[in-house]
Amino acid sequence: MKQDAKAAGTRNQADRLRPVAGRHNQRLKELRLAFRRAELTAQGECAIEGVKLLEEALRSGQHLDSVFFSESARPLAEKLLPQIGARTETLILPNALFNSIVPSDAPQGVAALLKLPAFSPAQLLDRSSDGPFVVAAGLQDPGNLGTILRSAEAFGAAGIFLTEGTVSPYNSKVLRGSAGSIFRLPFLQISSTELIPLLRARGVRLLATSSHQGTPLPQISWTLPLAIFIGNEGAGLSRELTRQMDGTLAIPQASQVESLNAGVAASIVLYEAARRICNW
């Protein structure tokens, strides 16, 4: 009897998988465009791919609007369907069709569309006593931004602002590099001309990061509220932004090293901030 019940449960789960054979399905079009453009869909959905990221979304309490499996991933689908929930649309695609849509070179057979939490500037700024803000100002490498998102959550940042010239947070490499932090860390895309006055109005101190010039990291005052600006990988912060900073911090390093990777540098700064603010 138990085996019969188990078999029936498996059949019921399998019945939830709606087969889609053609690329003209509207949800597939939305998934494809979201991946290709690294933008939200017209419904405000983000496209994610891979088992780890899907599991992190579920663990973070995110509701998945639609989940897409490849035919070869049926065993994976049967494993994940109980966690996904009955309200979520689940589709199964031929392998070739699935692989043509997702950006990964080695697809794992699962992708999804979901709505990430949206935050207003005021909602983020209300968190100024929780930890430092991170401002990604012109970061272009998706791996760096993913690392910064992950480190910002790990070391207790209050949130992250993404200004003009910064890679989209919906880029598949950013999402993957964040290892799920994108689902939990408040973030907002905003222009620097709008952001700076908002930070000033809340009394937030603005600190730039630099390779060698500035106050050495151990000597920095970490009194909140505080925003740490991470500039472009090659050019750093623009002159206009640099002029508006209250100070510049530098990570002590060997003189022959030109600079640290932006993701590594931000992680070191955020760890030092957490150590000093929280007495780690």
User: Which domains does the chain show, CATH number per domain?
Assistant: 13-114 (3.30.1330.30), 121-278 (3.40.1280.10)
**pLDDT for 210:** 82
**pLDDT for 5:** 39
For residue 68, list its beta bridge partners: 91, 111
The answer to whether 152 and 134 are in contact (CB under 8 A) is yes
Angle between helices 74-84 and 2-15 (to 10 degrees): 90
**pLDDT for 10:** 47
Judged against a pLDDT cut of 50, whether residue 189 lies above it is answered with: yes
Provide the whole-model pTM. 0.90
Closest CA to 68 of 146, 16, 7: 16
At 6, is the pLDDT very low, low, confident or very high (cuts 50, 70, 90)?
A: very low
The 10s digit of each residue's pLDDT in 89-137 is 999 999 999 999 999 989 999 999 999 999 999 999 999 999 999 999 9
